[in-house]
Amino acid sequence: MTGFVIRRLGLADAAAYREIRLEGLERHPEAFGSTYETEAALSLEDFGRRVAEVATFAAERDGRLLGLAGLARESTPKRRHRGTLVRMYVRPDGRGAGAADALVEAVLDHARAEGLDSVILAVTVGNQAAGRLYDRHGFTVYGVEPGALRVGDRSYDDELRIRFL
């Protein structure tokens, strides 16, 4: 089922952003550098600041956020030509409808509009659905970071990818 719109989130979306972000962290702790516990302790104002600092896009249907993706711009002068795709998450009821593809395209379009040369990302090794998504959008693997994340006693490797614009 389609019928969603893609839009950039603003400060007024902090509560909805918080809800879906925490859901993603809780459902897939191996996919994010942060933890549910860390972010659940943040204030709504903190989430508002995050939306303001990172260009965050959402797939929305009937007023409900189905998915998120953000573009974090590098801050140092020698790295400002590059951005990082961050916070990618699509709720189960938004999967298979094209929301993930539309979110990645929104991030890439924004990166182009900002004059970036490339977008990088990290995806947990073994996350085949995400790997196929990024393949479709031209991201190529340039390395693997062994033990990039640790959840409990288990370590996860990250596949590092880049898309030149």
For 57: left if phi > 0, alpha if psi spans -120 to 50, otherwise beta; the answer is beta
Yes or no: say if 54 and 72 are a contact pair by the CB < 8 Å rule. Answer: yes
Give me the percent of the chain exceeding a pLDDT of 70.
99
In tens, the pLDDT along 101-123 reads 999 999 999 999 999 999 999 99
CA atoms of 98 and 91, how far apart (whole Å): 12
Alpha carbons 154 and 147: distance in angstroms, whole number: 9
Beta strand 82-90 pairing with 64-73: antiparallel
pLDDT for the residue 2: 67
- In terms of C-beta density within 10 A (0-12 exposed, 13-18 middle, 19 or more buried), how is residue 12 classed? exposed
Residues in the chain: 165
- Residue pair 57/9 in contact by the 8 Å Cβ criterion: yes
Domain 5-164 CATH superfamily: Gcn5-related N-acetyltransferase (GNAT) (3.40.630.30)
- Sign, CA dihedral 70-103-145-115, equals negative
Q: Whole-structure pTM over 0.85, yes or no?
A: yes
State the average pLDDT over residues 49-59: 95
pLDDT per residue over 13-45, tens digit each? 999 999 999 999 999 999 999 999 999 999 999
Residue 145 pLDDT > 70: yes
How confident is the model over 71-86, as a mean pLDDT? Answer: 95
Task: Show me where the domains of the chain are located.
Answer: 5-164
